[in-house]
Amino acid sequence: MRDSDEQDAVHQPSRASQRGLDWFTFFVANLQTGFGPFLSVYLTTQKWTQVDIGLILSIGSIAGLASQIPGGWVVDAAVSKRRAAMLAVIAIGISAVLIAVLPIFVMICAAKLLHVGGSSVLGPAIAAVTLGLVGHAAIGERLGRNARYAAAGNGLAAGVMGACGYFVSAQAVFYVTAVLAIPTLLAISRVREEEVYAVRADGGLCASDGAPVGALSIGRFLRKPDLLILTTCIMLFHVANAAMLPLVGSAMTMRSSQWATALVAACIVAPQLIIAMISPTMGRLAETWGRRPVLLLGFGVLPLRGALLAWTHDPYVIVAVQLLDGISGAVLGVLVPLVLSDISRGTGRFNFAQGVVGSATGIGAALSTIAAGYLADRYGMTTAFFGLATAAVVGFLVLLATMPETKPSPA
């Protein structure tokens, strides 16, 4: 057998491909930003009722949850991960055009489904291109670099699109989003097809004659203990995490509606700056310390963040506390695909694994918003934050007690 370590030694990516991947992750973050809160704002300006807006968002959430595993499977099956990423970008660009041009229910629904389908392929495709390009030996630091560019893209796009919505119109945000598909495609075109080793991009192995070894069956792969443990821990993390920022926004609005928007924006941008600064360091630490200690760091700051948000009402302190979200974001953004690359190594199921964890993320986020909303309405914001902090402690303890170290031992 000849595994991907030997391939890494003879298949080093060019500088052009590395830079192409940098800018691709940057522009993808720009492209996806337009589909966040800006969609609700735009549909409100089009005289949509909150019931119809909620229905569209619910359809998108359900479709997003259902498409995660099929999206990963599609990327595993794709001969060219680079072309799969391109097609996903095109689908997202078309969905933005449909939203801008035809804001009627049927077309917005179709656009939302198209966006969700494209996104379910795009996320795994980025990780697949990364793994296929640099290999297992270098993927930790490369994932950190991806996260840095994505965080920069998120922060810049939020500001630019907010300005477009304020100075031009809410509709202009989606024209800008559609146009952003062009530099995104140009960036991925800079990644050379021949440098993205397809078998390695799936987490597969080659035999001594270079022929791909068959992928592990889905049933056997889903029974891998380390995959089940990681998936459970990620779900618990998002049960604790997903509702924190919405609760912060609601609390700030109740105390000072005039400054709420600006403070929430600060709570979004500040963690992105932390992610951009420390993500490469997280990748390097994962190679020197191991995966488990760095994961514990990311999980460990979440209960602290929940407890501090329950304790303080000072808006400046709240923004400072949100910096902890940047630490968790950097750790999970780098470590989750890195650990999945370890778990799936030799199975040919790397991208399928990303879909499994993506589904767990969606389930955790849905449970988080439901539970936090109930606690906030029934017992108040402070109790809701403490409830989320408790869930975070449970996630940390499960990770501490059950998650093995997945970093391969030196040969």
Q: What is the pLDDT of residue 230?
A: 97
* pLDDT reading at 258 higher than 70: no
Q: Are 191 and 17 in contact (CB under 8 A)?
A: yes
- When the pLDDT of each residue in the chain is averaged and rounded to a whole number, the result is 88
Dihedral class, residue 348 (left if φ above 0, else alpha if ψ from -120 to 50, else beta): left
Of residues 113 and 214, more confidently modeled: 113
Q: What is the biggest distance separating any 2 CA atoms in the chain, rounded to whole angstroms? A: 67
Whether pLDDT at 260 is above 80: no
AA identity, residue 70: P
CATH code, 1-214: 1.20.1250.20
What per-residue string of b and e applies to 53-78 under the rule 16 or more CB within 10 Å gives b?
beebeeebbebbbebbbebbbbbbeb
Q: Band of the pLDDT at 366, cuts 50, 70, 90?
A: confident
Model pLDDT, residue 85:
97
Supply the pLDDT for residue 359. Answer: 95
Q: What is the pLDDT of residue 10?
A: 47
Could you tell me the CA-to-CA distances from 324 to 228, 264, 268, 377 in Å, in that order?
27, 15, 12, 26
pLDDT at 162: 73
Task: Say what the pTM is.
Answer: 0.86
Averaged pLDDT for residues 283-310: 95
pLDDT value at residue 198: 83
The whole-number pLDDT of residue 39 equals 83
CA atoms within 13 A on the CB side of 14: 9
Looking at the predicted structure, is the pLDDT value of residue 268 above 80?
no
The predicted model gives 383-401 an average pLDDT of 96
Mean pLDDT across the stretch 20-39? 88
Instruction: Provide the pLDDT confidence category of residue 91 given band limits of 50, 70 and 90.
Output: very high
| The pLDDT of residue 204 is above 60 | yes
Task: Provide the pLDDT confidence category of residue 207 given band limits of 50, 70 and 90.
Answer: very low
**What's the pLDDT tens digit per position in 213-257?**
567 888 999 999 999 999 999 999 999 998 888 888 777 766 665
Residue appearing with tokens 């694994």: 353
Q: What is the pLDDT of residue 376?
A: 86
Least confident of 153-167, 291-305, 391-405: 153-167
Count of other CB atoms within 10 angstroms of residue 207: 10
Give the model confidence (pLDDT) of 314-328 as tens digits: 888 888 998 999 999
The residues near 152 (Cβ < 8 Å, ≥ 6 apart) are 26, 29, 272, 276
Q: Residue ranges of the domains in the chain? A: 1-214, 216-405
Mean pLDDT over 276-293 rounds to 94
User: Do 1-214 and 216-405 have matching folds?
Assistant: yes
Where does 216-405 sit in CATH, by number? Answer: 1.20.1250.20
3-state secondary structure 146-203: HHHHHHHHHHHHHHHHHHHHHHCCHHHHHHHHHHHHHHHHHHHHCCCHHHCCHHHHCC
Could you tell me what percent of the chain has a pLDDT over 90? 59
Give Cβ neighbours of residue 27 (< 8 Å, ≥ 6 apart): 153, 180, 183, 184, 187
Question: Would you state the pLDDT for residue 108?
Answer: 94
pLDDT at 209 (0 to 100): 45
SS3 366: helix
pLDDT in tens, 350-361: 999 999 999 999
Q: What is the mean pLDDT of residues 142-163?
A: 87
Q: Which of 121, 140, 144, 120 is nearest to 131 (CA)?
A: 140
Dihedral over Cα of 309, 313, 319, 320: its sign:
negative
